Amino acid sequence: MKKLISLSLTTLLLASTVACSSTAPDNKGAAASNPTISNSAASSSETESTGWKPEKDINVVVAYKAGSGTDTGARILCAAAEKYTGKTLVVVNKEGADGKIGYTELANAKPDGYTIGFINLPTYASLATEDNSPFKEDSITPICNHLAEPSCVVVRKDSQFNTIEDLVKYCQEHPNEIKCSTNGEKASNHIGIQLLAKMANFEVTNVPYGGTADQLLALRQGEVDISVPKVGDVSSLIGENGELKMLATYTEKRLDDYPDVPTLKEKGYDLIYGSYRALVGPKGMPQEMVDFYAKAFKDAMEDPDNVEKSKNAGLTINYMDPEELKTFIHSQFDFVNTILPDLF
C-alpha cells in the first residue's frame, strides 16, 4: 500500500509539473511571502481580444459556504477581476452535500458566458467518479487555475498531541478513537487524512462537515481531535495567539512561514499532497468566452492589489491556462481512480 501511494502521488506531482511549471504545493511559505504566476503563463503570448465581452453581470458559483477557504479566495480574485471583465462578478454560494450541489448547478448551467465557477481538486474529481454522479470530467469547460494549497495536520493548542509522532503512536494504539473533521466524505481533506492513516497504519473516525470552515470550527470547539485542512485555511489560527497548532505539512520542504513545523516526509511518510482551486464554465462554453475569461483572470491574478491581498490571506497563486488546466484535471481523475479504492 505504501508503494502504491508513493507511486500514485509521484504521478500526480509529475502531472502537475507538466501542467504548470511554477508554484506547486511544495513550498507554500515562500509562495505566500511572494505569490507568483506560473512561468509558462508569464511567458505565453497575450490572448488577443476575441470580440466577445459580457454585457451583463456574471454569476460565479462557489460550492461552499461564505467564509470558507474557497469563498475567501474567490471573493478576493473576483473583486480584482471586475476591472478586467468590465462587469460585476457576483459570487453565488451554493453549499451543501460536500460540494455536490454547487458543482451540479455549475455543470447544468447554460454555457452562455454568464455562469462560471470554482472547483476544488481533487474533490471535484472524487465526487464526479461516484456512482450516479450528476457531473463528470467532461461536464465542465476549463478556464484557468487560481490557487495551489498544501495540506497540513492541525490540532487545538491545548491538545495532548505536541508532535506528529505523538499523534501517530496514539492512533495506532487506539484504533478509531481519534475523531478527524473533514470537508466532506471523500473530499480533499478526507483524502488527506486517509493518505496518512494508510501509510502510517492507523485508523481514525471521519466526521464530515461539508466544508472547511465548519470543519475547522468543529476542531476549535472540541467536537473532534484533529483536522487536515490546507495551510492557507489555518494561517490566521496558528501562532502565539492562535487557537491551533500545526504538527506537520504535506510538503517537500519545511515552509518558510512555519520553519519549526516538520514535513511528513522527514518523519518517514513520503506524502506530498494538497488542493487546487480552478475556474471553469459549463460544458459547451465557446472558446472565445474561455479565452476572454482566461486573460481577464490572469490579469487579475497579476494585479498588484490582488497579489497583496492574496499574500495577506495566505493564498498561493498558481495560474494555469485552459489547456494546462484541462491536462491537470485529467491527471486528478487518474489520481482518484488509482488511489481512492484503496483509501475508502
Q: pLDDT tens digits for the chain (344 residues)?
A: 554 454 345 444 444 443 443 333 333 333 333 333 333 333 333 444 558 999 999 999 999 999 888 999 999 999 999 999 999 999 999 999 989 999 999 999 999 999 999 999 999 999 999 999 999 999 999 999 999 999 999 999 999 999 999 999 999 999 999 999 999 888 999 999 999 999 999 999 999 998 898 999 999 999 999 999 999 899 889 988 899 999 999 999 999 989 999 999 999 999 999 999 999 999 999 999 999 999 999 999 999 999 999 988 889 999 999 999 999 999 999 999 999 899 98
Q: d(Cα 327, Cα 310) in Å, to the nearest integer?
A: 25
Burial class (CB in 10 A: 0-12, 13-18, 19+), 119: buried
**What secondary structure letter does DSSP report for 151?**
B
Angular region, 255: left φ>0, alpha ψ -120 to 50, beta rest: beta
Q: Dmax of the chain from CA atoms?
A: 64
Q: d(Cα 311, Cα 95) in Å, to the nearest integer?
A: 26
Please report the DSSP string for 4-50 in residue order.
HHHHHHHHHHHHHHHH-SS--TT-HHHHHHS----HHHHHSPPPPP-
- Closest C-alpha among 100, 4, 33, 15 to residue 61: 100
Q: d(Cα 139, Cα 224) in Å, to the nearest integer?
A: 35
Contact (Cβ atoms closer than 8 angstroms) between residue 177 and residue 224: no
The structure's pTM equals 0.83
Please compute Rg for the chain using Cα positions: 19
pLDDT tens, position by position, 148-199: 999 999 999 999 999 999 999 999 999 999 999 999 888 999 999 999 999 9
Q: d(Cα 182, Cα 174) in Å, to the nearest integer?
A: 20
Question: How far apart, in Å, do the first and last CA atoms of the chain sit?
Answer: 13
Please work out, in degrees rounded to the nearest 5, the angle formed at the alpha carbon of residue 100 by the alpha carbons of 99 and 102.
70
Task: Give me the residue label for grid cell 484541462.
Answer: 326
CA 221 vs. chain centroid, Å, equals: 24
